[in-house]
């Protein structure tokens, strides 16, 4: 009987401890922030840095769930307008036609240079904007015409949903179409890979995608670097935007504020873009 009594007491104490722990855990859960999910979609240029910022933000805010996908700047505009995403990502300015009749709010989170790249062994190092335009419109078709080897030029660019392509078409091609021979790719990474594997190729990518696998041309003597975008000497650059349908609230507002904070802007700089704050 004594042993039974001790056993019952032990069970009672254990049960009491479990109850206290459960109550404590329940209190901790209920006192925390309510879980919140937002979605972002659009520019494949903004995509990698947005994912980096989101991962850091979610590490610091356990209740936040930020889901990000690409598709291009055009997709970002449509998704924000139609409400299929809370935040749209763009690698270009909003068009007047996109602003008309809409309630879009826009936030410039950085700037990005567009580099013209070639196969690393290409002997040509410098091009003018006029030469680039003539190359992409098929008026110059061989590298020997710009001081290079006797080799056919292979045009590589972005698809029609790309904000990078829209900016390139407007700024470099003066809103005129590229030659129909241009091969189209859906991301900066795909363009970089194609150029790195094609001796006669020329392509255009975000500065973030310039590495030892490709050669970046200087433009009229100015190198394609973040420093030259900052000091204004490298002219082929564009804004990076986040947009929302109306004023952002909740997690969307908090995330945009974070990416515009000193910490967020440092991440922008660490990823090869030009911060704006």
Q: Note the pLDDT tens digit of each residue in 115-171.
A: 999 999 999 999 999 999 999 999 999 999 999 999 999 999 999 999 999 999 999
Q: What pLDDT is attached to residue 1?
A: 42
Run of H or E including 127? strand 126-127
pTM, two decimal places? 0.80
Q: What pLDDT is attached to residue 33?
A: 66
For 113-230, CATH number out of 3.60.21.10, 3.40.50.150, 3.40.190.10, 3.30.390.50 equals 3.40.190.10
Q: What pLDDT is attached to residue 24?
A: 43
Which residues, given as ranges, of the chain have pLDDT below 70?
1-33
The DSSP 8-state label assigned to residue 273 in this structure reads: -
Angle at 249 between CA 245 and CA 255, to 5 degrees: 95
Alpha carbon distances (Å) from 195 to 184, 198, 200, 210 = 12, 5, 8, 11
Positive or negative, the CA dihedral 139, 141, 143, 149 is: negative
Cβ(195)–Cβ(158) below 8 Å: no
Q: What pLDDT is attached to residue 32?
A: 57
Alpha carbon distances (Å) from 130 to 133, 146, 221 = 5, 11, 13
% residues pLDDT > 70 (the chain): 88
All residues at 6 or more sequence positions from 114 whose CB lies less than 8 Å from its CB, including other chains = 164, 167, 168, 204, 205, 206, 207, 224, 236, 237, 238
Residue 216: closest CA among 234, 232, 238: 234
Length of the chain: 277
Q: What pLDDT is attached to residue 6?
A: 44
DSSP reduced 3-state for 235: coil
List alpha helices for the chain, DSSP H. Answer: 2-31, 46-60, 73-82, 96-99, 129-136, 163-171, 188-196, 226-230, 250-259, 262-270
């Amino acid at each position: 009987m004594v042993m039974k009594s001790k056993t019952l007491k032990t069970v009672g104490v254990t049960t009491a401890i479990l109850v206290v722990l459960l109550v404590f855990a329940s209190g901790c859960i209920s006192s925390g922030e309510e879980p919140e999910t937002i979605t972002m979609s659009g520019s494949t240029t903004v995509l990698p840095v947005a994912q980096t910022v989101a991962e850091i933000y979610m590490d610091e805010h356990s209740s936040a769930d930020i889901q990000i996908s690409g598709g291009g700047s055009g997709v970002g505009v449509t998704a924000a307008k139609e409400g299929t995403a809370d935040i749209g990502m763009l690698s270009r300015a909003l068009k007047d036609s996109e602003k008309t009749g809409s309630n879009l709010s826009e936030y410039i989170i950085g700037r990005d240079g567009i580099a013209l790249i070639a196969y690393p062994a290409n002997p040509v190092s410098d091009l003018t904007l006029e030469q680039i335009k003539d190359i992409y419109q098929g008026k110059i078709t061989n590298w020997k015409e710009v001081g290079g080897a006797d080799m056919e030029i292979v045009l590589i660019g972005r698809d029609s949903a790309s904000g990078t392509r829209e900016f390139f078409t407007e700024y470099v091609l003066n809103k005129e179409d590229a030659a129909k021979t241009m091969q189209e790719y859906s991301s900066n990474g795909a363009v970089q890979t194609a150029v790195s594997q094609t001796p006669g190729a020329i392509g255009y990518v975000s500065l973030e995608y310039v590495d030892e696998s490709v050669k970046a041309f200087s433009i009229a003597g100015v190198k394609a670097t973040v420093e030259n975008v900052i000091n204004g000497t490298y002219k082929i650059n564009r804004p990076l935007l986040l947009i929302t349908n109306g004023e952002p609230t909740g997690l969307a507002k908090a995330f945009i504020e974070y990416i515009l904070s000193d910490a967020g802007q440092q991440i922008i700089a660490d990823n090869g873009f030009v911060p704006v704050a």
